[in-house]
Amino acid sequence: MAASQAAASEQSYAPAPSKVNPNLYAERKELFEKTSIISDIPWAYLAAVDQYERTMNIAKKRPVHKGITSIYFPESDWAGILNPDQQDTNPKSISFFHGYGRDGSGDGVAERTNDLDLLASMAFLMSKNGTKEENLLINLWNYYQNSRSVERIKQFATIFNTLDTLDLGEHAFPLPVSADYSYRSTWGDSRGWGGHRSHEGTDLFARHGVPVRSTCYGIVEVKGWNPYGGWRIGIRDVNNIYHYYAHLSSFQKSLKENDIVKPGQTIGWVGSSGYGKPGTSGKFPPHLHFGLYRDNGLTEWSFDPYPSLRKWEREDRNKRRK
Ligand SMILES: [Zn+2]
């Protein structure tokens, strides 16, 4: 990936979730729980779709209404593609033209900017053929026409369901800040250690066996060997950011794919694995290669993790002082 492209995409990184009013998470969760009772869709699935839409609003820079939810329908989807009135808010004519718009607030109007209407519309299309998990997944596939979207929503639902909260903005530095380590900004260097051709990440040099910790709340998406990355782990967070940890000497044994992790949780140990067949090690000094990737629904691009690392390091140092 060209460095200029990566630099441009970095600007679209989500605003720090820690700055969000914590009451908003509780308010949002309550709304999903209420809708769950009416629609029979598990609250974690309503939350997951809403969150997926939020990440797409950021990745695609879509116009966002100020509200509790982030569900987005283009006009033609809302009103119906053949509807002569593309701003239609009449549930009857919308329904006639097979639009997704529904009235969830009970005021007789289906508005694309009303949280309850948006949520009711999404709940309706999700539960068309039933509300069992497999039905929800099929309905979501029919809507998004993209298995990647469905996979993300399933992952988010697992995270929300396991942790029972939407307040998951906390992060941690990938190494204990008390350990001996060093790193610098190397974004776009033509060559890094461990055979990364274009260096899409930051190398954190530390001794063999220093614990590697999850930087986020998330779900283990990938765990295993890769010829370049060696023993590596990929964790997806609810901002649809993929956190990538490479060249580990070993993994935390109990950790499996689809497990939920928390910031600061040990996932493996620093090593120098990689650049060959499984088990190859010692071709370069031990270090953690850390990368961040954003999903835009169709593909994924890396952005410079260095500013985030500096922020998380500072936060962990402050926690230690308290
Ligand atoms: Zn590296």
Residues with CB under 5 A from ligand 1 (ion): 192, 196, 203, 289
Q: What is the mean pLDDT of the chain?
A: 90
Give residue 290 CA to ligand 1 midpoint distance, Å: 7
Give residue 134 CA to ligand 1 midpoint distance, Å: 39
Q: State whether residue 17 is helix, strand or coil.
A: helix
What average pLDDT does range 293-315 have in this prediction?
Answer: 94
Q: Tokens 């119906």 belong to which residue?
A: 80
The residues with which 223 forms a beta bridge, in sequence order, are 233
**pLDDT tens digits along 18-67:** 456 778 999 999 999 999 999 999 999 999 999 999 999 988 888 888 88
Read off φ and ψ for residue 259, nearest 5 degrees: -75, 150
d(CA 66, CA 121): 18
Split at pLDDT 50, 70, 90, the class of 188 is confident
Query: What pLDDT does 269 receive?
Result: 98
Give residue 11 CA to ligand 1 midpoint distance, Å: 22
User: CA–CA distance from 1 to each of 191, 199, 200, 202 (Å)?
Assistant: 13, 10, 8, 15
Is residue 219 predicted with pLDDT exceeding 70? yes
Give residue 103 CA to ligand 1 midpoint distance, Å: 51
**pLDDT tens digits along 57-106:** 988 888 888 889 999 999 999 999 999 999 999 999 999 999 999 999 99
Is residue 301 predicted with pLDDT exceeding 80? yes
Higher pLDDT, 322 or 81: 81
Per CATH, the number for 181-321 is 2.70.70.10
CA 196 from chain center: how many Å?
24
- Angle at which helix 43-59 crosses helix 133-144, to 10 degrees, equals 20
Q: For the chain, count helices (H), then strands (E).
A: 9, 10
Give residue 5 CA to ligand 1 midpoint distance, Å: 19
Is residue 322 predicted with pLDDT exceeding 80? no
Query: What pLDDT does 256 receive?
Result: 97
Give residue 287 CA to ligand 1 midpoint distance, Å: 8
Domain with CATH 2.70.70.10 in the chain: 181-321
Give percent above pLDDT 90 in the chain.
78
Give residue 183 CA to ligand 1 midpoint distance, Å: 10
Is residue 8 predicted with pLDDT exceeding 50? no
Long-range contacts of residues 64-70, Cβ cutoff 8 Å, at least 24 apart = 65/112, 65/113, 67/113, 67/114, 67/115, 67/118, 68/24, 68/27, 68/28, 68/31, 68/115, 69/28, 69/31, 69/115, 69/118, 69/119
The DSSP result for 196-240, as a single string, is: -SS--SEEEEE-TT-EEE-SSSEEEEEEEEETTTEEEEEEE-TTS
Give residue 195 CA to ligand 1 midpoint distance, Å: 8
Q: Tokens 């009235």 belong to which residue?
A: 103
d(CA 213, CA 268): 7
**pLDDT tens digits along 222-257:** 999 998 899 999 999 999 999 999 999 999 999 999
Give residue 3 CA to ligand 1 midpoint distance, Å: 16
Q: Tell me the two tokens of residue 218.
A: 């998330």
